[in-house]
Structure 1
């Protein structure tokens, strides 16, 4: 409804030349018709390059293959009625000097004519000469209610009762146009695929859409919270919010969670947690590679961060994972790029504070000293968690998890207590690697690995904590001050 209100406001406040960015011509035209019939009573004229004008019997096929003639008709039309002219794909012609000049001339007359021009285009191409007279707005993809209505109508036609799957399908189809939803459902129905198995196929289709942008990656989520040792506080926080993006939560009046900042040295489970969150909440996981934002020609970075935000919001509800966010701010301090990095980060931080869509941010950082105060203040994230090195009990749990995975029948034969005592200052990732290295050594000798093999690796291993003590101490001091919350129960 936000778009409807915005367009109604523009039509009533003398914005006579409107540029709407969308790929959904049919849905846009339907929406404009609905608005005009209900509120403004405008007559609609619709033009495209191949068929010329449509929707009005007096001008059928006028100005075929002639965009300048399409504008001439608007200029010479004698009418006392309120009119809206929808010009499709007009961005292709708008930079031609004759078209630009004609639009500027017509703009002066539109107020007297009670007429509006709506340019419908899939991308933004507005010449500098028209920036002052054109108002740019975006036509959003279908919201949850529109998708639900479309699915209900489709299933009614096909005599299918989708109620038990409807909510999951609505979430899965976020980010799809109505046309793509129709094609997808038809494909699934005629392929005799049960509705229970459609979600994975929809996710594959969504992955193809995301991959075309070369900004975000759709990650596979096959990790569960139970696979993470320790981090009890973090797990409890996440489990309580498992249904926060559901229709029931929205009806309850519950605001959607905004995001988490996970801080800790490498190997403490930050990346694994991001993947497990998406799995726990049953929503897609998008990963942002900051390097892709800053690659390319000068001036392109700002556009790419806007594309990233737009794509994430189209895919909502989703988890957006930003790995090693501290490196971005380190880049800002050590980079001379005419302010590009500052502008990109300003755009991102503003969105982080003001976003209303169901995009849950999971940002991870290794070094808190690089993070600016404005990122750590309340409001950017729901919570900031410190993932410390695992304590003795957590190390026992981590050893058990990994050994149960690779030796589900014989894991109890390993002396987990002794191994956990020997791995103080080890991260979870280093514990896993000590097991893997022991397996390699034993496999080379053509025998089963045992506790002594793991102990030998542990005694030869130098944990990252010994070379990164300053960073760990800094994080621990922050945690003691209460500035960030402990991800584990005990310190």
Structure 2
């Protein structure tokens, strides 16, 4: 990025572009790079003086104040007009005179900026003006005369240099422990991607102070620093990755798929010519672990998890919904590598084609589709959906997601695992446990009693059984589970038709999240159509289903 920016800015200067506009928070970094450009005769051909102006300090040349009286905007513009030597002028926060955001535009200043254009373009000595501010604000009168120059966040190399500098500066300190392998160091630097150099340095310093050194666990400290960026968007929510894959019972196909793609955003994956994975769509029966998987990916991959609330995207101001989507996308890319979770995506896209929508949903959807297809930053999108029929077919086309997984009712083996996870999680007190022992035989009995129960219902069975014991101030018993189960009407009964429709859809369009060997039980469920045997999903082979090839 650094080399392309320097080359672009040099070309603009040589082509006599009068006004350039760079939006960034990193003034010092931009000023340093532009100063290197104007001194590089090979790049710019004609070396130039380098001036920096601010309202508080006036005009400076090479760091020395030249004219204190130039603090006023009209005075600095006059100085630029009269200056006869080759020069580049950096004007900090000049956008405040352009109006916007509740400010009154200073029209004499805008007029003077326009008056200077011909002189800058045709001056005997080349002169260029660069507006530098955190936000882009160009008045209508100047839209044809100002060129916006993109300036990205620090590259991986730059952040790694900051990390190396901090490590070397603290290595001699016996109270600070540095224990990073090459891969862990790369992961730590990758975790800081999306931060400014100052923010990255702050994050590394915080990790040094809080943990007394740097190690593999320091990644979490860096991710906490990224939360500040996310909170400021108002559209994205940072989700703390508390659950891990061990907290999910079953769904081994999804777990294996995700495990194989761990670390795929690191440089080591490039040696195999591998791109970063695009994402997955999880659909299926509600309450069977789709959202839990989204949270567990963050823990497995040690990447920040951002939840996109589609309700916040569609605000009441005309045009703001599209801007909100662009803001969410740019934030996710800014802190990449990251995971973007869109929960119940079908609800957010339900307004497409509806009357009274004015095309807003369609435009937002188009922005999302284009980005998913063409994104180059390592942002892994995980979308969950309960009603797959409400999702526009364009979203399901190959290239949007790497894979579509179907999460069905848990099998007997999976129900046993789910019971074991929740019992281990909650039966920690000897008083609550009492004489109850949940060995393999007990788990098998509970799984048999809860045939066709979803994972969320199994969790509630454990909680309700504990309430039975708590209300009588005793340890839990097997009869508590039997009583709760007998009083529960599972979702598979109340929504049998919907589940059957989802299964029929998934037959040729999705990969089963549960391995084939664990799905034999489905053939016994007469009240719900079994998943057809066509749905092959061995993660170690390529399988053809309905004309579609899947390669794990």
The question of a shared fold, defined as TM-score above 0.5 by the shorter chain, is answered with: yes
Structure 2: unaligned runs, 5 residues or longer: 100-105, 173-177, 517-530, 532-552
Q: Which string of whole-angstrom CA distances, capped at 9 and with x for unpartnered residues, describes residues 265-288 of structure 1?
A: 321111100011111111111111
Question: Relative to structure 1, is the Cα distance of residues 42 and 354 closer, same or farther in structure 2, using a 3 angstrom cutoff?
Answer: farther
1:72 matched to 2:78? The reply is yes
**Root-mean-square deviation over aligned CA pairs:** 2.4
Contact (CA 8 Å) 1:414, 1:451: kept in 2 or not? no
Partner of 1:329: 349
- Shift of residue 435, structure 1, vs aligned partner: 1.3
8 Å CA contact 1:51, 1:61 repeated in 2: no
- 1:488 matched to 2:488? The reply is no
1:360 is aligned, of 380, 389, 400, to 380
Choose from 93, 108, 117 the match for 1:98.
108
CA distance in 2, matches of 1:414, 1:52: 81
- Partner SS, residue 360 of structure 1: strand
289, 307, 310: which one pairs with 1:290?
310
Q: Deviations over 1:7-45 (max 9, x none)?
A: 345445554322111010000111222333341144322
The answer on 1:264 being equivalent to 2:264 is no
Q: 1:251 to 1:103 in 2, by over 3 A?
A: farther
Deviates more, 1:177-186 or 1:53-62: 53-62
Question: CA shift at 1:162, angstroms?
Answer: 6.6
Segment drifting more, 165-174 vs 261-270: 165-174
Which residue number in structure 1 is paired with residue 195 of structure 2?
176
> Where does 1:340-379 land on structure 2 (aligned, <5 Å)?
340-379=360-399
Q: Which residue number corresponds to residue 460 of structure 2?
A: 433
Q: Which of 43, 48, 56 does residue 50 from structure 1 map onto?
A: 56
Q: Aligned pair in 2 of structure 1 residues 337, 98: CA closer, same or farther (>3 Å)?
A: farther
Q: Does residue 49 of structure 2 align to residue 60 of structure 1?
A: no
Could you tell me which residue of structure 1 aligns to residue 522 of structure 2? none
Aligned match for 1:140, one of 141, 152, 170: 152
Structure (1 or 2) with the larger CA radius of gyration: 2
8 Å CA contact 2:49, 2:61 repeated in 1: no
| Residues 387-426 of structure 1: pairs in structure 2 closer than 5 A | 387-407=407-427, 410-412=437-439, 415-426=442-453
Cα contact 1:142–1:176 (8 A) shared by 2: yes
Give the distance between the partners of 2:514 and 2:417, measured in 1 at CA. 13
For residues 302 and 242 of structure 1, the distance between their equivalents in structure 2, rounded to whole angstroms, comes to: 32
Partner of 1:240: 260
What is the total number of aligned residue pairs between the two structures?
488
Per the TM alignment, residue 5 of structure 1 is displaced from its structure 2 partner at its CA by 4.5
Please tell me whether the aligned partners of residues 414 and 450 of structure 1 are also in contact (alpha carbons under 8 angstroms): no
- Contact map agreement 1:386 1:486 (CA 8 A) in 2: yes
**Most deviating of 329-338 and 84-93:** 329-338
Q: Comparing 220-229 with 191-200, which one deviates more in the overlay? A: 191-200
Distance 1:256 1:4, change over 3 A: farther
Q: Which has the higher contact order (CA 8 A, sep 6+)?
A: 1
- SS of corresponding position for 1:218: strand
The alignment partner of 1:60 has SS state of: strand
Kindly indicate whether the alpha-carbon contact (under 8 Å) linking 1:62 and 1:70 is maintained by their aligned counterparts in 2: no
Matched, 1:128 2:144: no
Match of 1:84 in 2: 88
Deviation track 1:224-282 (CA, whole Å, cap 9, x = no partner) reads 11221121111110010111122322344321111111112321111100011111111
User: Secondary structure of the residue that 2:329 maps to in structure 1?
Assistant: helix
SS of match in other structure, 1:119: strand
For residues 283-302 of structure 1, give each alpha carbon's deviation from its aligned partner in whole angstroms, at most 9, with x where no partner exists.
11111111222235322222
Match of 1:468 in 2: 495
Bigger mean CA offset, 358-367 vs 6-15: 6-15
- State the Cα distance separating 1:456 from its structure 2 match: 2.0
Relative distance call for 1:125 and 1:276 in structure 2 (3 A) is same
Once the two structures are TM-superposed, the CA of residue 186 in structure 1 deviates from its matched residue by 4.2
Q: Which residue of structure 2 lines up, in the alignment, with residue 24 of structure 1?
A: 26
What secondary structure, in the 3-state scheme, does the structure 2 residue paired with 1:321 have?
A: strand
